[in-house]
Amino acid sequence: MEEDIRKQGMLYLQQQRFGKKWKRVWCVLFRESSCSISRLEFFECKDGGAEKSDKNLRKQQEHKKVIRLADCIRVSEVEMDGCPRETGPFLVETLENCGAACE
């Protein structure tokens, strides 16, 4: 499964409730394989570390969220105020939802 990982790292997601604060998450982008679909998985980032160990990822599996890449309609750059410093904001639009993130 490690060979199916295309990219992983820290992202900021804009929360949908009042105030629109940015929440730091760890993301893993998987390519399609014979036993899985292409998808983006993200986990809450509680320890503040830049790298996640396999043990920490397994422990947080029950809290992960998944975006199937087949459900993505568009990913586009956007101009946003209030995003974290030195990040580039972008918008992810899926069949069910639309959300902002920063890399």
d(CA 11, CA 19): 19
Q: What is the pLDDT of residues 25-39, one digit of tens each?
A: 999 999 999 999 999
**Per-residue pLDDT at 56 exceeds 80:** no
Strand partners, 99: 92
User: CA gyration radius for the chain?
Assistant: 14
The domain over range 2-102 is classified in CATH as 2.20.70.10 = no
Helix boundaries (H) for the chain: 54-59
Q: What pLDDT is stored for residue 69 in this prediction?
A: 93
Confidence of residue 66 (pLDDT cuts 50, 70, 90): very high
As a whole number of Å, the end-to-end CA separation of the chain is 24
Its pTM stands at 0.75
Q: What pLDDT is stored for residue 14 in this prediction?
A: 87
